[in-house]
Amino acid sequence: MEIDLTVPGKPVAQPRPRVTRWGSYDPAKKRKDKFRVIAQEQIDSALGGALHASLTFYMPIPKATSKAKRKLLLENGAKHTKLTGDLDNLIKFVFDALNGIAYKDDSQIWSLSASKVYSEEPRTEIILQSQWENSL
C-alpha cells in the first residue's frame, strides 16, 4: 500500500518546546493541526507494518532574489541549504503531524529519504510505502 499526499504552503520545522512557569507547550501546535487537517483529507486509512517515507520539501525562494538568479535556481533544481529550515526539524514536524492519521506511530518508519529544494510553489510532498504488513 502507498499514501501520496501534498500539503501546500511553506514547510514548517518543528520548534523546541517552550517552557514557562505555567508549564510547557508546543509553539507549532496550530500549524500542526492545520497540516493534519489537510493531510487527513487525502488519506483513506492508516498504513500498518514497516514504512518507507520519502519527503520532499519545496522551499520558497527569498523575495530579494533577482529574476536572473531565481531563474537559475528553478532551472537547475537548486538545493536549499540556508540556515533556516533544518532538514531534521522539517522531518520531525511531518512525522509528528501524521501520527495517528497515516500510521499508528512514527516508530513504524524504518527507512527515509528526504530533500529540500527551491520552488515557486512552497509545499511538502510525502510518499509513505508499506514494506510489509506483519512487522514484529
Task: Give per-residue pLDDT as tens, 42-59.
Answer: 998 889 889 999 999 998
**Element (DSSP H or E) covering residue 50:** strand 50-60
Whole-prediction pTM value? 0.83
Q: What pLDDT does 89 receive?
A: 92
CA dist 112 and 53 (Å) reads 5
CA dist 49 and 61 (Å) reads 37
> Is domain 2-132 in CATH 3.30.1330.70, yes or no?
yes
User: What is the grid cell recorded at 55?
Assistant: 519527503
CA dist 11 and 124 (Å) reads 6
Q: Residue 107 gets which letter from DSSP? A: G
Domain definitions of the chain by residue range: 2-132
Instruction: Walk along the chain (136 residues) and give the pLDDT tens digit of each residue.
Output: 889 999 999 998 887 777 778 877 777 788 889 999 999 999 988 898 899 999 999 988 888 878 887 777 777 766 766 756 789 999 999 999 999 999 999 999 999 999 998 888 999 999 999 876 554 4
Residue appearing with cell numbers 501546500: 8
